[in-house]
Chain A
Amino acid sequence: MNPTLCLLFGATLISLASLAPRSAQATEHHFGFSYESSVLNPDTAEIEPWTTVRAGRADYYSATDARLAFAYGIAKNLQGALYWNFTSIAEDVLVPGATQKTRLNTSDLDSFSLDLKYKLSDPVADAFGSALYVAGTLGPLLASVEGRLIFDKQVGSLLLAANLLGTGVERLELRSNTEVALGALASAGYFVTPTFLPGLEVRSENGVSKHLDRSVLYAGASVSVLTEGWWATLALEPQITAFKGASSGHHFDLTKNERLQGRLLFGFHI
């Protein structure tokens, strides 16, 4: 699906859903990229389709990452999820020997992932909410592992979240060294009504090999709605600046990062 259409579709659904009655569930993602400490109750489950669009590099580049997750409450405070990752990329590349760039389209079911989240404390009952998160991904071309420290707090109608994360990715086809990425995310949202939460999110993504190779900052807005049987969140985040690794003539990194990233998430209770 065209990324713009996908986001418009999501915005329309979210607008309609904001009119629906609320029944909050514990696993809503109120922000596009930051995770929160809540987990599913034991023996409850959710289907979560996610779509992430990434567009705008030095040459034409448009990518859609789709993820279909099945999340399940394994035990008290412990949730697991299994998900399928699909990627579709359209980009201009210079084929060896050619004089002009060619637009290359690729679509793949690129990997399966498994994640676990363990809730350590609650964002309302305790001084702050916290959780540990770990995810492993394996596909024909890549293997990766991600870990996160999750913190959140709800004070009245104000919701805050912060994540610290580390990722290691091995590109199997390249037999390359592991790519390591470190990141930090901070988000704040306000429950305008119990069903509707607009928010702001800032995130820093950093690529490290022996040294810090690239460091970019994304920031943007999100909206989240909750309904009786499902929730939805839409986030749009342009790249604000590249502290390191900026492309020549820009203050953005347009080689490994994009001008704009957006994410549309749904969760359906089953």
Chain B
Amino acid sequence: MTKFSLLALVLIPVLGCAAALPHATDADAARVNQSFPGASVPRLEQGRTLYVERCAGCHQLREPASEAPLAWPRLVAEMRDEHGVHLTRDEEQGIVAYLVSVSSR
């Protein structure tokens, strides 16, 4: 038991230091401003929040960098069309803008 307590004590901080879903930066907003006019850090962060709230309940979140930036609009549209995810146009745009911006780093 002692060995496993030690293992847990080691493992938990290691997990804790691992990367979380990236937050949007000014550079991210500037990079996608042409494709998503009006993109700003607060709007991209809003997209991040929506991504977590609307997607994590049904499936494990995918890291943005796991797909090419250009793939994300199609993937989000597939979730809407084929899996019945209800997203308003603004919500979908917000999620896509966030995913495209941080996956283009």
Contacts and interface: CB of A to CB of B under 8 A. Distances in A.
Interface string B46-90: 000001100011111111001000000000000000010000000
Interface string A185-221: 0100000000000000000101000001001000000
Nearest to A41: B57
Interface in B1-51: 1, 3-5, 7-8, 11-12, 15-21, 51
Interface string A3-28: 00000000000000000000111101
Interface stretch (A118-126, A134-142, A258-266): A118-126
Nearest to A36: B60
Interface residues of B, number: 27
A184 B1 contact: yes
A151 B8 CA distance: 10
A184 B5 contact: yes
A25 B15 CA distance: 22
Contact of A125 (B1, B7, B61, B83): B61
B32 to A, nearest CB: 20
Contacts of A186: 4, 7-8, 11
Interface of A: 23-26, 28, 38-42, 44, 73, 76, 122-128, 151-156, 160, 162, 164, 182, 184, 186, 204, 206, 212, 215, 243
Q: Which 10 A-B pairs have the closest CB atoms?
A: A41-B57, A124-B61, A184-B4, A128-B15, A24-B59, A204-B4, A125-B21, A153-B15, A125-B52, A206-B1
Interface of B: 1, 3-5, 7-8, 11-12, 15-21, 51-52, 56-63, 66, 83
